[in-house]
Amino acid sequence: MLGVAANGMMAPEAYRSEAFYRAELDWVFPSSWVFVGHEQWVRNPGDFLADTIGVEPVLVVRNPDGVLRAFSNVCPHRASLIAEGRGNCGRRLVCGYHGWTFGLDGQLLAVPRQRGFATPVDVSEYGLHELRLDVWEGLIFVNVTGDAPALIDYLEGVPELLAGHDIATMGLGAFLDDPIAANWKLVMDNAICDYHLGMVHGESIADLVELEGLGEQAGGTTAVASVPWKASALPPQPRPGLSGPAVEGSLGCFVFPNLHVIGFPTGGATVMWWTPTGPATTRARVLSLSHDADADVRAGTELLSRVQREDFEVCERMQIGVQSRGYTPGPLHASELRITVFQRRLLDIVGPVLAAADSEASVELAGAAR
């Protein structure tokens, strides 16, 4: 398979190939359920958030009836973006280019200077393109192609595993939004690598956990790490609703392609997601959630920022390293199981796309040779 090293790990070319990167944007992200934000960011009618999934500009808006809708954030007249960032648009979405105006249901409502068109614009034909949206525990997901499995199925065992944390009722804490000078796959590999915790995070979080008791389990679209905490770091009393591994330590839940939700024995949680912004650049976002932010040290900006900096440094060093002609991936450690879930699913999607492109290019070359 294209992009695979001899030991089954992703080959270095996958981290530096422009064609591989483009296939990810065109095929991996649109076909997946991708996390775009928290419901509390779009709490009121007219509240919106804009993001990008692959190369698809996405707009999520709260309707007057309280329902969330997702659309392509593209005006159907001349493709201008309609909104950016987060905010409130009132009762209308207005394109800043030619003033085409849409309702919060995506329907076209008004077109300035109608008489200038050869024939009147049929507003029923030019609404915003709607995208598939679903919500789990207050977390908003969008599937651009519309053909992914139901979100609850896509999340596999994660909802049951984190049910006791009651994430939907948590308050929002610290939020970080930073750039990393590294390919997003390197950042993902690192995020779900439990082998690096003792070394990279030795002065931040490693002293809280019992690495020898760490366990991992793999699914198709998800992978989970159970990381026991030291007794001295655990809360005096378990939070009501938590049981089993959730009481004993952290539950790190990876959801393909780019989401990591971590539930803590304190009852809090952290949502982390990484968005490719270029072949060698990534946008890293972290949102802290907690039932009691004042009592949960892991909800604070200081610790989150420290852990982020530790990870950024190693990812940026790896970005330089994968350029080496002499590098081939080394052996897989037992604490890197979750990486294989990420890489194998990614390669299953991208591999056939690149193979088809290579085959088409070969046919064209053969035809030209005749």
pLDDT in tens, 40-60: 999 999 999 999 999 999 999
Q: For residue 21, name the pLDDT band (cuts at 50, 70, 90).
A: very high
| Residue 110, φ and ψ in degrees, nearest 5 | -150, 145
What pLDDT score does 205 carry?
76
HSE at residue 276, side-chain half, CA atoms within 13 A, is 27
Q: Answer yes or no: is pLDDT of 367 > 60.
A: no
What pLDDT score does 41 carry?
98
**Residue 192's closest CA among 309, 336, 348?**
336
> Per-residue b/e over 103-123, b at no fewer than 16 CB within 10 Å?
bbbbebeebeeeeeeeeeeeb
Q: For residue 358, name the pLDDT band (cuts at 50, 70, 90).
A: low
d(CA 101, CA 218): 47
Q: Answer yes or no: is pLDDT of 173 > 70.
A: yes
What pLDDT score does 58 carry?
98
Between 189 and 295, the higher pLDDT residue: 189
Report whether 109 contacts 100 (CB < 8 A). no
What pLDDT score does 207 carry?
76
Q: For residue 306, name the pLDDT band (cuts at 50, 70, 90).
A: confident
Q: For residue 353, name the pLDDT band (cuts at 50, 70, 90).
A: very high
Q: Answer yes or no: is pLDDT of 143 > 80.
A: yes
Which of 18-32, 188-202, 260-274, 314-328 bottoms out in mean pLDDT, i.e. has the lowest?
188-202
Percentage of the chain exceeding pLDDT 90? 75
Cβ-count burial of 77 within 10 angstroms (0-12 exposed, 13-18 middle, 19+ buried)? middle
Which of 38-47, 211-220, 337-346 bottoms out in mean pLDDT, i.e. has the lowest?
211-220
User: At residue 95, what is the residue type?
Assistant: C
Q: Answer yes or no: is pLDDT of 12 > 80.
A: yes
The continuous run of DSSP H or E covering 284 comes out as: strand 281-290
Percentage of the chain exceeding pLDDT 70? 93
**Residue 258's closest CA among 15, 24, 79?**
24
The tokens describing 309, both together, are 């900096």
Which of 87-101, 170-184, 200-214, 230-244 bottoms out in mean pLDDT, i.e. has the lowest?
200-214
Q: Answer yes or no: is pLDDT of 150 > 80.
A: yes
Q: For residue 294, name the pLDDT band (cuts at 50, 70, 90).
A: low
User: Mean pLDDT over residues 119-124, rounded?
Assistant: 91
All residues at 6 or more sequence positions from 267 whose CB lies less than 8 Å from its CB, including other chains: 165, 235, 239, 241, 242, 290, 291, 292, 296
Largest CA distance in the chain: 78
d(CA 280, CA 182): 5
User: Mean pLDDT over residues 89-96, rounded?
Assistant: 96
- Please name each of the domains of the chain with its CATH number: 34-143 (2.102.10.10), 153-339 (3.90.380.10)
Between 19 and 211, the higher pLDDT residue: 19
User: Mean pLDDT over residues 19-37, rounded?
Assistant: 97
User: Mean pLDDT over residues 131-153, rounded?
Assistant: 98
What pLDDT score does 298 carry?
56
Residue 79's alpha-carbon distances to 27, 83, 88, 168, 316, in angstroms, are 21, 12, 21, 35, 35
Q: Answer yes or no: is pLDDT of 209 > 90.
A: no
pLDDT digits (tens, 9 = 90+) for 59-81: 999 999 999 999 999 999 999 99
Report whether 331 contacts 7 (CB < 8 A). yes
What pLDDT score does 8 carry?
77
What pLDDT score does 236 carry?
87
User: Mean pLDDT over residues 160-188, rounded?
Assistant: 95
